[in-house]
Amino acid sequence: MVLGLVLVFMFLLVAIATGFVTLANNEVRVARKQRDSLKAFFLAEAAVEKALFELHADADYSGELNVSLGDGVYDVAIADLSTEDISRKRIDGTGYVPGKTSPRAQRQIRVIAEKPDAIFNLGGALTSGGDVEIKGDAVIEGYGEMAVSVPTGFSVSDQTDNIPEDKINTNGQVPTFEGIFGITEEQMERIADIYVHVGAPPPNEPWNPSGITWIQGGAKFTKNDWHGEGVLIVEGNLDITGGQFDGVIYVLGGSVVDTELTGNINIKGALVTEGAITFKGTSDLEYYQEKIDAAEALFPYEIVSWEET
């Protein structure tokens, strides 16, 4: 009887041990499967990010296959869904672990990305929402466009006599952010590098901004070797006494802002201010289409829908 009981208990212990071993092996397999699935998901996300990066540099980028990354590979497929008003792309990113041949895991992400066909609605070299005063040897050149545009009721005082009367528009539109750029301030803030200045703005910060730059709290640039490019939005007073900027400058704040350009400053592109502006010294503003086109091209594709397929 004792021997029989021992054999029964041994059988039960072996059965329990076998169950635990089987359960442990299953847990390991499930964990490995989850790990591989997560890796494939991240590979699919990497494929989408790669597509967004490449599309920003080349709108004709059409995707690529079998790109190795980490413990797997990914594919990128792009379909053009653009209309007359907006550039739209469908991006399919697929991740495989460890490879496309007999993968242990495969996942795919599909996104729709859009980019507004940015055509800046500029009134000329200088678009102001307030009075314009030009002194000293300052020069504003329209090169086929208006040199200066102000809304009805505001004046242009050109003490240099450098600007022909037919290049001054005193019946222009009041500049608005969305009217100039075609997107809202909130949309621009999402894609901009933002700098916040509390109190008096430190001079020359940021140094040599490029891309889309948003400065909160005003800005002051004084160095002759300061050189910015792209789109510069200043929320507050703007004071420039030296350096160069290639692209489009927009000064926010309506009648409460004061924009002043003095000394030796050269701007190639266009400048828009919601308030009054004063030009002094040898400041030079030239309407430059090539620089404006380069600024327009800075707008990236943004994801408007996302799903795992």
Q: Return d(Cα 183, Cα 177) in angstroms, integer.
A: 8
DSSP letter assigned to residue 135: -
Q: Return d(Cα 77, Cα 72) in angstroms, integer.
A: 17
pLDDT (0 to 100) of residue 82: 87
pLDDT (0 to 100) of residue 255: 63
Maximum alpha-carbon separation in the chain? 122
pTM, 2 dp: 0.73
Reported as a single tens digit per residue, the pLDDT across 115-170 is 866 678 898 999 999 999 999 888 999 988 999 999 999 999 999 888 888 999 99
pLDDT (0 to 100) of residue 5: 84
Structural domain boundaries in the chain: 2-116, 126-296
Residues of the chain with pLDDT under 70: 116-118, 254-257
Burial environment of residue 27 by CB neighbours within 10 A (0 to 12, 13 to 18, 19 or more): exposed
Work out the number of other CB atoms within 10 angstroms of the CB of residue 120: 18
Residue 81 tokens read as: 């869904």
Reported as a single tens digit per residue, the pLDDT across 178-208 is 999 988 898 888 889 999 998 889 999 999 9
244: β partners: 227, 266
41-79 burial code (b ≥16 CB/10 A, e <16):
bbbbbbbbebbbebbeeeeebebeeebeeeebbbbbbbe
pLDDT (0 to 100) of residue 253: 81
Residue 191 tokens read as: 């894609």
